[in-house]
Amino acid sequence: MSVIDDFKSDKNINLIFNAASKMIKDKYSNVDTHDNGLINIIKSIILSICSDAILIKKIVKLMELNKIALSKIKEHYDGIINRQNEPEIIKTEEKDESIKYDSEQLLLKVLELEEKRSVVNSIANLQKQQSEVKESKQESSIQQSNPINFNVKILEKLEVLSREKTKVSYKNIVINSYNRDWCNSPNRNKLSFTINIDLLKNNIKIERLLLPKLIKYKTSFITMTINNNKLSQKIIFILKTSSNENAWDIWENINSDNILLITNKNWHISFTDFLNNDLDMGQDNIDIIEVNDNLNNIYDLTIDNGNKLKYDSFGVSLINKYDNILIKTNLGDNIQGKVLHINDNILSVYIENIEKKILMNSSLLNYKGQYTIMMSYFQKL
């Protein structure tokens, strides 16, 4: 039986399933997954790998194929948690769509109900008075509405309707640093963008940050500053979840009720460390100084390491085999490549439909060095 047949066998699928299940349990416990769904994902990944003639030609051991399969499963679940999309608004929760009233509407509604009830009581009182003429004064006194009770009822109804009003719908915003103009703004710490939310009508909170795992070795907490050229606001984050198997750590806002006061949509974001110095988050736009064509769409890209500080800040150590990397060609286009091998400052990268001359004098962005800002917003009451 060939290595490919072994790779596709039920026995090996079960082996990958057991390893993937443990990984998901340890790292992706918040992701809803089922055994049948995981089996289907594994079979789809195996089929995809077996269809890659170049990869199959280079890999001759079952263990290596299984590692590739597990890395693709990891990428699949990383993608669910850390989607690297354009800044977008994602509707995540509809808590209640019941009728909502403002304060005046609430009071008017209650008064309307009480007025109707008062009219009914008055008619009943009149009928009672007509049928019992001898005791009219006493009955009239008994049937009159008590002003104190009336006010208490208004407050009770107002409180109930107010509780209904506070059941609001939250939506999420996800912003990733790779969406910046990284050629003109290579420093990852500095991020500027326009947020497409009406901040006069909505409250917004920054919930958490997803930061590269090396950041936790540089500071014990992080201060994030949002500036709109008129007003600035600071938010402090501490490390919540860290795993050596994951490329990103979760940092959480220490004050979950911290509402942003900024109403201008043009934001400038920066980060400082526990010493209040600019946090070293690295930089992109590192130059490719040499390209060698190895045929079969595989190219050796030599990265400029003449400036040791800039080279280290790019974070080659974060990149693993089969990771994607973003390339800005000399034509100004963004293309993706898959890293097959790393030798010091030389990356062997698989890139389809590209000519060597297009890669000369290009530059790179390291996906693994990017960070994500997770925010939520809801309508002001």
Q: Which residue has the higher pLDDT, 103 or 270?
A: 270
Whether 231 contacts 177, CB under 8 Å: no
Domain spans in the chain, listed from the N-terminal domain onward: 3-81, 88-95+169-282+371-379, 103-165, 286-365
| pLDDT tens profile 76-118 | 877 776 654 444 444 444 444 333 444 445 545 555 555 555 5
Q: Which of 322, 364, 366, 371 is nearest to 342 (CA)?
A: 322
Number of H helices, E strands in the chain: 10, 15
In order of 32, 33, 70, 155, 197, the CA distances from 80 in angstroms are 10, 11, 16, 46, 24
Confidence (pLDDT) at 260: 87
DSSP of 222-246: EEEEEE-SS-EEEEEEEEEE--TTS
User: In 31-102, where does DSSP find H-type helix?
Assistant: 35-50, 53-58, 62-81
> Which pair of structure tokens corresponds to residue 354?
């590209």
**In this predicted model, what pLDDT tens digit does every residue of 281-335 receive, in sequence order?**
999 999 999 999 998 999 999 999 999 999 999 999 999 999 999 999 999 999 9
This prediction's pTM = 0.57
Q: What whole-number distance in Å separates Cα of residue 17 and Cα of residue 24?
A: 10
Fill in the amino acid letter for 29. Answer: S
Q: Looking up tokens 């103009």, which residue turns up? A: 181
| pLDDT exceeds 70 at position 201 | yes
Q: How confident is the model at residue 127 (pLDDT cuts 50, 70, 90)?
A: low
Tens-place pLDDT, residues 320-377: 999 999 999 999 999 999 999 999 999 999 999 999 999 999 999 999 999 999 999 9
Q: Specify the DSSP class assigned to residue 180.
A: S
**Which CATH number is correct for 286-365, 3.40.50.720, 3.90.420.10, 1.10.3470.10, 2.40.10.170?**
2.40.10.170
Confidence label for 63 from pLDDT (cuts 50, 70 and 90) = confident
Structure tokens of 329? 């060609």
Q: Report d(CA 3, CA 357) in Å as an integer.
A: 37
89 and 31 Cβ atoms separated by less than 8 Å: no
| Mean pLDDT, range 247-261, rounded to an integer | 88
Taking a C-beta distance cutoff of 8 angstroms, is the pair 33, 9 a contact?
A: no
pLDDT tops 60 at residue 225: yes
In this prediction, what percent of the chain has a pLDDT beyond 90?
44
Q: How many CB atoms lie within 10 A of CB 256?
A: 9
Give 236's strand partners: 223
- Give the number of other Cβ atoms within 10 Å of residue 123's Cβ: 10
The pair of structure tokens assigned to 183 is 């050629």
Q: Taking the C-alpha atoms of 207, 211, 213 and 217 in order, what is their torsion angle to the nearest 10 degrees? A: -90
Model confidence at 264: pLDDT above 70: yes
d(CA 353, CA 298): 11
Q: How far from 257 is each of 194, 205, 261, 314, 374, CA to CA, in Å?
A: 23, 8, 12, 35, 15
How many C-beta atoms surround the C-beta of residue 190 within 10 A? 16
Report residue 199 as tokens. 């901040």
Q: Which position has the higher pLDDT, 11 or 144?
A: 11
